[in-house]
């Protein structure tokens, strides 16, 4: 049996003259955490809404758990969990009331849902908050409640839209540990993010820009395949160095990181160090070194070139 959980061909969505998602081909396999990485407005939410059957594509096809979408949105409701970007539970209801309400929406039998809610309160460390109004909880606690409600009915496939944009790094770390626990229990998930550290945790990811997939693969593969050499410049006058390099052919980008300037030089330049050294010949107090690419380099390079 195929382990393909989600596949799309030529998936496109237009809103009047705006194309929010353009000709997107995806293959997402069982047990993967698949990331959509891209800036605000690149089409992450629109893609998720089409994959969950909430929005009809303008063209192209979508298959989710072996069924075409949006036609099978209703029968697949119990197999899918969708954690939207905005906290979509009732702030004037307690944690327990919200979870009971979600269980009713999923048509879960009362006995079964009571046991499941107890289990989730323990898993997500919400037992002490059970009778607290969700509106009075911290962002991190609300996020745990949202995750608990999303997995309440035991879905096989989870969609998490920018799940950690409102929480601190420590909460983000523990949230990701919980995601890997869910994967260990057999879930597949699609996570959208604009954080590089979050994208790096995914098994595979697609880099999106203006609704177009610019690159996809595992983070490691994307870094290995980077079509640029990364050079770091250290020393005096980095702002002037930056302005000079920004006007240099084959320099894809420059970005200052603390006391270093990170420079991406297109791979078509066969002697990148010699080229940069010669360009900076007037700067006597700088040193240069070639560095391993990181995901941000991949993102910058992918969004400079033509779409794949
Ligand atoms: N219902 C709509 N009507 C008109 N335009 C829309 C609609 N929904 C989305 N768009 C547009 O489509 C583009 C993609 O939006 P989308 O919300 O999918 O991006 P995103 O990557 O999820 O961004 P964000 O991180 O800000 O949510 C944007 O330009 C947005 O304004």
Where exactly are the structural domains of the chain?
4-222, 227-292
Contacts of 161 (CB under 8 A, 6+ apart): 44, 45, 48, 82, 83, 84, 85, 192
16 lines ligand 1 (CB under 6 A): no
Whole-number percent of the chain with pLDDT over 70: 98
Q: What is the mean pLDDT of the chain?
A: 92
85 vs 46: which has the higher pLDDT: 46
Pocket test of ligand 1: the residue of 14, 15, 159, 164 to mutate, having most ligand atoms within 8 Å of its CB, is: 15
pLDDT digits 0-9 by tens, 128-156: 999 999 989 988 888 899 999 999 999 99
The Cα 294–Cα 63 span in angstroms is: 32
**Residue 36 — very low, low, confident or very high, per pLDDT cuts 50/70/90?**
very high
**Residue 87 — very low, low, confident or very high, per pLDDT cuts 50/70/90?**
low
Is the pLDDT at 305 greater than 60? The verdict is: no
**Residue 91 — very low, low, confident or very high, per pLDDT cuts 50/70/90?**
confident
The neighbour count for residue 292, using CB atoms within 10 Å, is: 9
Ligand 1 centre to CA of 46 (Å) is: 6
The 3-state secondary structure of 10-65, one letter per residue: EEEEEECCEEEEEEEEEEEECCCEEEEECCCCCCHHHHHHHHCCCCCCCEEEEEEC
The answer to ipTM > 0.90 is yes
Q: Which of 12, 8, 37 is nearest to 22 (CA)?
A: 12
- What is the fold of 4-222? Rossmann fold (3.40.50)
Contact 165, 13 (CB under 8 A): no
Nearest CA to ligand 1 atom 31: 41
The Cα 94–Cα 105 span in angstroms is: 17
CATH class of 227-292: alpha beta
281 lines ligand 1 (CB under 6 A): no
Nearest CA to ligand 1 atom 8: 46
49 lines ligand 1 (CB under 6 A): no
pLDDT digits 0-9 by tens, 162-189: 988 878 888 888 899 999 999 999 999 9
Nearest CA to ligand 1 atom 7: 15
Is the pLDDT at 306 greater than 60? The verdict is: no
The neighbour count for residue 150, using CB atoms within 10 Å, is: 22
Q: Is 297 exposed, middle or buried (0-12, 13-18, 19+ CB in 10 A)?
A: buried
Pocket test of ligand 1: the residue of 38, 44, 164 to mutate, having most ligand atoms within 8 Å of its CB, is: 44
Nearest CA to ligand 1 atom 18: 43
251: which 2 tokens?
């320099």
- Classify residue 249 by its DSSP letter: T
pLDDT at residue 273 in the model: 96
pLDDT at residue 307 in the model: 39
Average pLDDT over residues 218-236: 95
pLDDT at residue 62 in the model: 97
The closest-lying atom of ligand 1 relative to the alpha carbon of residue 194 is 25
pTM of the model: 0.90
- Classify residue 229 by its DSSP letter: E
pLDDT at residue 284 in the model: 87
The Cα 219–Cα 214 span in angstroms is: 14
Ligand 1 centre to CA of 35 (Å) is: 17
Is the pLDDT at 84 greater than 60? The verdict is: yes
Average pLDDT over residues 294-303: 91
Is the pLDDT at 108 greater than 50? The verdict is: yes
Ligand 1 centre to CA of 98 (Å) is: 28
Find tokens 């929480």 and name the residue. Answer: 167
Is the pLDDT at 295 greater than 50? The verdict is: yes
Whole-number percent of the chain with pLDDT over 90: 78
Nearest CA to ligand 1 atom 2: 15
The closest-lying atom of ligand 1 relative to the alpha carbon of residue 42 is 21
The neighbour count for residue 98, using CB atoms within 10 Å, is: 21
For residue 215, report the phi and psi dihedrals to the nearest 5 degrees.
-165, 155
Is the pLDDT at 161 greater than 80? The verdict is: yes
Nearest CA to ligand 1 atom 28: 41
Ligand 1 centre to CA of 16 (Å) is: 12
Using the Cα atoms of residue 44, residue 164, residue 297 and residue 4 in order, give the sign of their dihedral.
negative
The Cα 161–Cα 44 span in angstroms is: 8
Average pLDDT over residues 259-282: 95
43 lines ligand 1 (CB under 6 A): yes
Nearest CA to ligand 1 atom 20: 41
Q: Is 155 left (phi over 0), alpha (psi -120 to 50) or beta?
A: beta
Is the pLDDT at 235 greater than 70? The verdict is: yes
């Amino acid at each position: 049996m195929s382990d393909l959980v989600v596949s799309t061909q030529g998936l496109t969505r237009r809103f009047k003259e705006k194309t929010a998602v353009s000709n997107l081909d995806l293959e997402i396999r069982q047990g993967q955490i698949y990331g959509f990485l891209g800036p605000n407005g690149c089409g992450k939410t629109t893609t998720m809404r089409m994959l969950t059957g909430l929005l009809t594509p303008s063209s192209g096809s979508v298959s989710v758990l072996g069924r075409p979408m949006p036609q099978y949105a209703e029968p697949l409701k119990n197999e899918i969990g969708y954690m939207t970007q905005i906290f979509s539970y009732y702030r004037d209801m307690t944690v327990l009331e919200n979870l009971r309400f979600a269980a009713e929406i999923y048509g879960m039998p009362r006995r079964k849902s009571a046991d499941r809610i107890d289990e989730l309160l323990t898993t997500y460390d919400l037992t002490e908050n059970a009778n607290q109004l969700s509106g009075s909880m911290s962002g991190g606690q609300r996020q745990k409640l949202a995750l608990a409600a999303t997995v309440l009915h035991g879905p096989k496939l989870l969609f998490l839209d920018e799940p950690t944009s409102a929480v601190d790094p420590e909460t983000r770390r523990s949230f990701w540990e919980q995601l890997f626990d869910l994967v260990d229990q057999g879930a597949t998930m699609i996570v959208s993010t604009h954080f590089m550290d979050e994208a790096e945790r995914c098994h595979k990811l697609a880099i999106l820009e203006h609704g177009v997939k610019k690159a996809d693969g595992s983070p490691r593969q994307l870094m290995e395949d980077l079509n640029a050499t990364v050079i770091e410049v250290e020393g005096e006058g980095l702002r002037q160095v930056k302005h000079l390099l920004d006007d240099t052919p084959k320099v894809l980008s420059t970005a200052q990181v603390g006391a270093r300037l990170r420079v991406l030089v297109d791979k078509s330049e066969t002697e990148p160090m010699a080229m940069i050294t010669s360009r900076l010949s007037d700067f006597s107090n700088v040193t240069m070194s070639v560095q391993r690419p990181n995901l941000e380099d991949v993102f910058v390079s992918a969004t400079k070139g033509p779409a794949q």
